[in-house]
A and B are shown apart, each in its own frame.
Chain A
Amino acid sequence: MKPEPAQRPDAIPARLRTILPRALPWAVFALGLIVAPLIFSGGASLSILSQIGTMMLLGLSFNMLLGQGGMLSFGHAVYSGLGAYFAAHAIRLAGAGTISIPISLVPILGGLAGMLFGVLFGYVTTKKSGTTFAMITLGISELVSACALMMPEFFGGEGGVSFNRVVGRPLYGISFGPQIQVYYLIAVWLFICTLAIYAFSLTPLGRMINAVRDNPERAEFIGYDPQHVRYLTFILSSFFAGVAGALGAINFEIVSAENVSTGRSGAILLFTFIGGVDYFFGPLIGAALGVFFTELLSNYTPAWQLYLGIFFVLMVLYAPGGLSGLLVEAVRPKVLRRSILRWPLLLAICVSGLLVVFGAILAIEMLFQRSLGSDSELKLFGISVDTSLRMSYVVVGLLVFVSGISLRWAWVAFWDGADKPQTEIAGVTIRRTGT
């Protein structure tokens, strides 16, 4: 604790000095949201940006559970999906003139719906923690998916529920018909909710959920019921998930059973973890990358889910802090200094790493080409490989093997003599909190 600065004439600049660093990331975030569609203005990119926005919010709400509370949920899409359904039905009713609600406020409705189901299902799931919690969330997710098939009146059956998001007369020329308007709707809600989720992490409950994550038993001996702490957090998280779901519904103008599916929940988990759960901004990175690659890769290769899975497993094995963890690690002065001093090794790491990736991709694509079976020639990265020749596999295998060895060697040599980055304790990455 630094002593309070005495009241001097320059007290205002001093205040500014404490506020500025805190406000700066937010300003950058807001600016990024505003200018993103101006930079990426192509036809599909606006839709991708909108998807990234909703996924970011989903990831942040998911991380209230995983990163903040240590609750690994396999059913987060239940809350966003149900929020989306309620939003869809509300917009349909509004379109039919039965109720009147502006589109810009529909996300609140989706949030409340998500929250309602958070109250309902959370009561059961948050009784447990750890792996049992994970299993139960999966069960709830399957339960809801099964329900979706059984009750086509609400879930719309195979086709889902589709609607027209342009409802009522435009306000100040905003009808939410054009994609750009929807993007900004998402951006505004994302910004508000991000602020709210961040604020949550600064409240007594937000801190106690960290405590419960670390040591639920001790939390009981300082007066808190860990189940209740988890339950409340779960409910709040479901609210934001519902908001994200509603935004997604408005974006696509259709909601189907896929929105509540276990597969969708898995994607949220995958993206969030890849982004990193230990830092607040981790899910933002994960969402951006996840959506971007899903959209992009799926155009190029049928194996994109395999790549996603492999990437995820590699992260779990070698970088449990996710990309944000790696990023924070990489910009530490110690690491930076070493990188500059040992740049040839760093270069070797990069080159052999790229070769490994290249070889692995080549191998996977060759196998895929063969299993799909029509044409034995594979064109990739400007080279062409005959997948029917055994020789090509030997060459690619050798490439991966040799570059793998050199990667390992360069990595070890790079870190030689350094104390291993001390970030883990009892299996968890340390987050520096405090004042």
Chain B
Amino acid sequence: MEFILFTLLNGLSYGLLLFMLSSGLTLIFSMMGVLNFAHASFYMLGAYFAYSISVNLSFWVAFLAAPAIVAGLGAAVERYGLRHVHKYGHAAELLFTFGLSYIVVELVQVTWGRATVQYSIPAELDGPLFTLYGTSFPIYRGFMMLVASLMMLSIYLALTRTRVGLVVQAALTHPSMVEALGHNVPRVFTLVFAGGCGLAALAGVIGGDAFVTEPGMAATVGSIIFVVVVVGGLGSLAGALIASLLIGMVQTFAVSLDYSVLTLLTALGIQETALRGSVLRITVAQMAPMLPYMLLVLVLILRPKGLMGTREG
């Protein structure tokens, strides 16, 4: 019972973290048509900046400053890079961000080295939030969920209640019309891109210490958030949320299930030594890294538009 509850909570917090990443990606994609390959790189930068700042100052300064710095970087990238390649089409934009992700990894290695850095959870957030049947749930997980939920709420409010938010929403579907009405669409683009990068960095700040902060972290999470975006349905924030939670849950549950087809067969009383070496011995836990991608393939075959998607890619 408590196993299910804790896995559920862990899955939820991981899923929410994924959503912090994929929401920015989706916003940028649906607004500008740009698939930001470097999105996870901004996540990584957030974690590294937070590490440096929290070592020198404090976690709370990092919590505010790191996303702000990365948002600034994002704005610069949009203004001086992306806007320039925009005229070559979406493939060129994708290639640009792909190259960028390449550069960021290298720069991170130059600056912080190739090894994992000791970015750890602040002392005041370290410890159990509550304990149930002898298993405790860490405060930090709760903190992550809180931050993610607050962020979700503020995105929602920003999109529905502010003027910029309304322009963003309108520009999602009718960019030229919005421009004709006198809004500065390029600036809105910069803003959205910067915002998306800032969100990714925030995820890095609170995810980097919960997981690991190392040069490979961008690549690990990068492909998964693409899966989230496709599975959820391109351009749908609600879809991204559902897919994030789904994948978060599936992966978290999977890693704790040490069963395979072989275990099942054995439990059913079938003892077949010949099968020991076959693929049947692979446990669900071992398959965990594959599951998001299998889900992707499945969704594409069964529901090409994604769970909540409206447009065909």
Contacts and interface: CB of A to CB of B under 8 A. Distances in A.
Q: Is the interface of A mostly helix, strand, loop or mixed?
A: helix
B187 interface: no
A145 to B, nearest CB: 9
Given A147-B290, A305-B106, A139 B226 contact: yes
**Residue in B81, B89, B105 with the greatest tally of chain A CB atoms within 10 Å:** B89
Given A320-B88, A427-B92, A150 B110 contact: no
Given A124-B301, A135-B226, A147-B290, A313 B100 contact: yes
Contact of B98 (A141, A266, A308): A266
A129 B313 contact: yes
A157 B295 CA distance: 24
Contacts of B89: 426-428
Contacts of B227: 135, 139
Q: Is the interface of B mostly helix, strand, loop or mixed?
A: helix
A138 B312 CA distance: 18
Contact of A313 (B90, B99, B286, B287): B99
B106 A143 contact: no
Contacts of A60: none
A151 interface: yes
B109 to A, nearest CB: 8
Interface string A102-124: 00000000000000000000001
Interface string B83-112: 011011111101110111011011100110
Interface in B97-153: 98-100, 102-103, 105-107, 110-111, 113
A135 B35 contact: yes
B26 to A, nearest CB: 12
Interface in A222-272: 262, 266, 269-270
B92 A320 contact: yes
A294 to B, nearest CB: 13
B223 interface: yes
Given A153-B277, A273-B95, A146 B293 contact: yes
B215 to A, nearest CB: 11
**Residue in A135, A136, A266, A364 with the greatest tally of chain B CB atoms within 10 Å:** A135
B289 to A, nearest CB: 4
A316 B95 contact: yes
B229 interface: yes
A139 B98 contact: no
Contacts of A427: 87-89, 92
Interface string B273-284: 000010100100
B91 A128 contact: no
Given A128-B313, A139-B297, A305-B102, A317 B110 contact: no
A129 B227 CA distance: 16
B219 interface: yes
A431 B203 CA distance: 44
A209 to B, nearest CB: 15
Contacts of A270: 99, 102
A20 B183 CA distance: 59
B294 interface: yes
Interface size class of B (residues with CB under 8 A): 35 or more
Nearest to B89: A427
Nearest to A269: B98
B95 A142 contact: no
B243 interface: no
Nearest to B300: A124
Given A128-B304, A130-B91, A138 B226 contact: yes
Contacts of B85: 316-317, 320
Interface string A145-172: 0110111010000000000000000000
B10 to A, nearest CB: 21
A368 interface: yes
B75 interface: no
Contacts of A377: none
B27 interface: no
Given A124-B297, A124-B300, A128-B313, A424 B87 contact: yes
Contact of A143 (B33, B94, B293): B293
A130 B90 contact: yes
A124 B300 CA distance: 7
A367 interface: yes
A129 B292 CA distance: 21
A368 B103 contact: no
B296 interface: yes
A424 B94 CA distance: 18
A303 interface: yes
Given A140-B297, A150-B282, A309 B99 contact: yes
Interface in A81-135: 124, 127-135
A310 interface: yes
Contacts of B94: 72, 131, 134
B110 A135 contact: no
Given A132-B313, A308-B102, A72 B226 contact: no
B258 to A, nearest CB: 14
A303 B106 contact: yes
B290 A139 contact: no
B25 to A, nearest CB: 10
B121 to A, nearest CB: 26
Contact of A134 (B33, B35, B81, B105): B35
Nearest to A144: B293
Contacts of B223: 138-139, 141-142, 262
A306 interface: yes
A19 B223 CA distance: 49
B301 A142 contact: no
A132 B300 CA distance: 11
Nearest to B311: A132
B234 interface: yes
17 contacts: A131-B35, A132-B313, A135-B230, A136-B230, A136-B296, A139-B297, A143-B294, A153-B277, A262-B223, A269-B95, A270-B102, A306-B106, A309-B100, A316-B88, A317-B96, A371-B110, A371-B111
Given A130-B91, A135-B35, A142-B223, 6 more contacts: A135-B227, A138-B226, A150-B287, A270-B102, A316-B95, A317-B84
Interface of B: 29, 33, 35, 81, 84-85, 87-92, 94-96, 98-100, 102-103, 105-107, 110-111, 113, 219, 223, 226-227, 229-230, 234, 277, 279, 282, 286-287, 289-290, 292-294, 296-297, 300-301, 304, 312-313
